[in-house]
Structure 1
Amino acid sequence: MNLKKVLAIGLFMGVAGQAAAETTLRVASWLPPTHPQNAVVWPTWSKWVEEATEGRVKVAIEYGMGHPKTMFELVEDGVVDASFSYHGYVPGRFKLTQAVEQPLLGTSAEAASVAHWRIHNKYFAKAQEHDGLEVIGLFTHGPGQIHMAKPVSSLGDLKGKKIRLGGGVQGEIGHRMGVTAVGAPAPKVYEMMQQGVIDGVFIPMGEQKSLRLKEVAKNVVALPGGMYLGSFAMFMNPDFLADLDAKDREAIMSVSGEKLSAMAGKAWDAGDAAGLEAAKEAGVNITMVKDGDALSKEFVELTKGMDEAFLKSVADRGVDAKAALTELREVARNYK
């Protein structure tokens, strides 16, 4: 064999070895590409992962993988390597996560997300609600507000109205208001509003822009601190992680956890700010309720007893949920 062939084979083997050493981490997403989760959160984390693994692990976002509630199973079964979803889409499995969703927390999504991560690891992880998944981040969306086709002047006006609810604590709030709950994933809300299937939706302000609700939900009631927060997890397939080289596994986890949770919450906060501006520009009728206003007092009265109801609902989880709830609020409200 001549020298040229030897060099060519060596070069080929080197390139092949380099290619074989690269791993693609496939992330399933169910929100539109323009949403902050896909425009900011996953791309930022992807960059972190590639840098931390020195390019050995690259991240690819894939769309059209199904209903958000199926993301947990898709990752558990190894159909994809990672994803995220809203805990409220799987009622019964996730109960402790509702601690961060309880009304009147009054903080940003970033602060709530950091508290969510810390309290989960200190108190809730041992209950194994995420069994079969490697949780890499926990976050919340911003304050959930009231978005309607027609204006409302009091919470009593919502009684009997068809409202899309995503599950979790907002379901209990809707029940207390006497609304007719309609279940559907968030990306379907625009179509349902446009067709008159629902009268409104409880959702953060960011969706005025990201889901184009400014075109169909022209009336918003924004309560101080919102009505609730929504709990989300970002998670990976444990087998995928286990198959990685130890240094790459450690590298990925080093850019996840609280760092990823805080970044995600901050991105959703920014999305809310952009949504508010987009709604104003579109001429949406926004009622900014202040503390002490009649609507604010009405909501505070409506939510009385919800802490107790939550604690009762998780009594079988074997954790000190009361201490966790108290500490979660301290962490979130003192976060800087």
Structure 2
Amino acid sequence: MDCRKFLYTAALGVGLSATINVGVTQADTLRFAVGFPSGAPIEAAKKYAESVKENTNNEHSVKIYELSLLNHSEMSSGISQGMADLGYLLTAYSPSDYPHSNLGADMSMQTALQGDVLGREGYAYSGAMLEYIMLNCPECQNEFSSNNQVYTSVVSTPAYVMFCNEPVKSAEDLKGKRMRISGAPWARWVKDFGGSPVALPITEIYEALEQGVVDCTFLSPTELTNFNLIDVVKNITTDVPGGLYAAGGAATLNRDTWNRFNDEEKEAMLKAGSVMAAYVTFLYQEQAHSDMEKARSKGINIIEADSDLLERSREFIKSDLEFIPEFYSGEYGIDSKRTRELADTMSSLIKKWNGLVGDIETADQLAELYWSEVYSKLEPSSYGK
């Protein structure tokens, strides 16, 4: 089913409007802050805007602010304060505000233990995160509500690989290496192999690799072109460390804006959220394939880890998945029984969604799957309260 057919099939037949104090009804233009200059987030945001217009009979529109209204570190407070009506929120930038949500995201290395969805890990993880936050984690909902926000979408990157200056194939090769990491699970992975984790903003990685400040960085292949790392990366190890980035609400609304909407309008925004989730995740994966081909064409050395490194990595991941609920309990003062329950729920959802995405070939199919499995089960009148 093509995108227009999907959207028109979902159309609600009501105009989305806002009533100002004098009682005049007019269409709003929602300000959508996206902290990227280009790439999958921007292209997905354009699809989101199209979905809003079509599902509201052209009565509602979205203006995308590309890296101009709010940056990633400003996004949470900016949405909360109404500087933007909605934003591409990365919850890892505000860890103490979203611990229950980030717990689910931090279990992404489980994807490296299951090889049945290679190249579709992000499709499955986005579905699992949507179902986790929207249907199974009231504490997650409270985190967004406490920040005057409503969660309506997600993003998952493709699986993480290693970009390195020198070839890394074995566990021995990792010893003593300075590795830029993207979060706590990867930091623990590096330490387990005798390396040194380094925290750096992604905008500084190019120079850090070029000058040898770090030996490696863990990222999805999309960052080869997003940040021009293809010009400095010499070696890519493809099957470690695994995991992916999923700590984000790709279309998080200001709660005051949300509460202006009637139930039909809220459903329209949820439909747009399913489109955003599908397109940003799908387009990221398409770009990952393309960027790896560009790397091969450029002569970058593409490496597979040896069997010993793979086995040791899997053993670490199994152990770390057991540790994650303990970490969140101790770090954020959450009841340990509850963190274990949430971790078990997320683990089950990852396995479930791995079994749902194998036949997905288009972003529109993915949007329909997210809608049928998650969004359609929400009650618009009570969601986000």
**Fold shared by both chains (TM-score > 0.5):** yes
Partners of 1:168 and 1:67 in 2: CA distance = 22
Are positions 1:301 and 2:315 aligned together? yes
Partners of 2:83 and 2:199 in 1: CA distance = 26
1:172–1:61 CA distance, 2 compared to 1 (3 A) = farther
RMSD across aligned positions (CA)? 2.5
How much does 1:166 deviate?
Answer: 2.2
Partners of 2:73 and 2:58 in 1: CA distance = 31
How much does 1:245 deviate?
Answer: 5.3
Native 8 Å contact 2:234 2:300 kept in 1:
yes
1:273–1:117 CA distance, 2 compared to 1 (3 A) = same
For 1:225-236, what aligned pairs fall within 5 Å after superposition?
227-231=242-246, 232-234=248-250, 235-236=252-253
SS across alignment from 1:150: coil
Native 8 Å contact 2:104 2:132 kept in 1:
no
SS across alignment from 1:138: coil
How much does 1:142 deviate?
Answer: 0.9
Q: 1:277 aligns with which of 284, 289, 293?
A: 293
Give structure 1 stretches of 5+ with no counterpart. Answer: 1-18
1:125–1:203 CA distance, 2 compared to 1 (3 A) = farther
Partners of 1:153 and 1:188 in 2: CA distance = 25
Partners of 1:31 and 1:219 in 2: CA distance = 26
SS across alignment from 2:95: coil
Match of 1:332 in 2: 353
Partners of 2:209 and 2:36 in 1: CA distance = 18
For 1:193-208, what aligned pairs fall within 5 Å after superposition?
193-208=209-224
Q: Percent of pairs identical after alignment?
A: 20
Are positions 1:312 and 2:349 aligned together? no
How much does 1:301 deviate?
Answer: 2.9
Are positions 1:125 and 2:138 aligned together? yes
Q: How many residues align?
A: 312
Partners of 2:243 and 2:234 in 1: CA distance = 21
How much does 1:176 deviate?
Answer: 2.5
Partners of 2:180 and 2:34 in 1: CA distance = 21
Partners of 2:79 and 2:171 in 1: CA distance = 39
Partners of 2:105 and 2:162 in 1: CA distance = 20
Partners of 1:43 and 1:22 in 2: CA distance = 19
Partners of 1:190 and 1:29 in 2: CA distance = 22
Structure 1 residues 139-184: Cα deviation after superposition (integer angstroms, max 9, x where no partner) = 3111111111222232332333332222243233233234333323
Q: 2:108 aligns with which of 101, 113, 116?
A: 101
1:305–1:58 CA distance, 2 compared to 1 (3 A) = same
Match of 2:35 in 1: 30
Match of 2:9 in 1: none
Structure 1 residues 304-323: Cα deviation after superposition (integer angstroms, max 9, x where no partner) = 41111012234425362243
Partners of 1:182 and 1:250 in 2: CA distance = 43
SS across alignment from 1:202: strand
For 1:155-174, what aligned pairs fall within 5 Å after superposition?
155-174=171-190
1:30–1:286 CA distance, 2 compared to 1 (3 A) = same
SS across alignment from 1:305: helix
How much does 1:67 deviate?
Answer: 4.5
How much does 1:195 deviate?
Answer: 3.9
* Structure label with greater radius of gyration: 1
For 1:23-172, what aligned pairs fall within 5 Å after superposition?
23-33=28-38, 35-38=39-42, 40-62=43-65, 63-65=67-69, 67-92=71-96, 93-94=98-99, 95-103=102-110, 104-106=112-114, 107=117, 108=120, 109-127=122-140, 128-130=142-144, 131-132=146-147, 133-172=149-188
Native 8 Å contact 2:33 2:70 kept in 1:
no
The one-letter code sitting in structure 1 at the alignment partner of 2:265 is D
Partners of 1:269 and 1:85 in 2: CA distance = 20
Structure 1 residues 38-94: Cα deviation after superposition (integer angstroms, max 9, x where no partner) = 1x2111111111111222222222214454233111111111122223333333433
SS across alignment from 1:298: helix
Native 8 Å contact 2:45 2:276 kept in 1:
no
1:322–1:243 CA distance, 2 compared to 1 (3 A) = closer
Give structure 2 stretches of 5+ with no counterpart. Answer: 1-23, 358-385
Q: Quick check: 325-334 or 214-223, which moved more?
A: 325-334
How much does 1:230 deviate?
Answer: 1.1
Match of 1:15 in 2: none
The one-letter code sitting in structure 2 at the alignment partner of 1:57 is H
Partners of 1:230 and 1:277 in 2: CA distance = 22
How much does 1:115 deviate?
Answer: 1.5
Native 8 Å contact 2:164 2:236 kept in 1:
yes
SS across alignment from 2:108: coil
Partners of 2:138 and 2:292 in 1: CA distance = 35
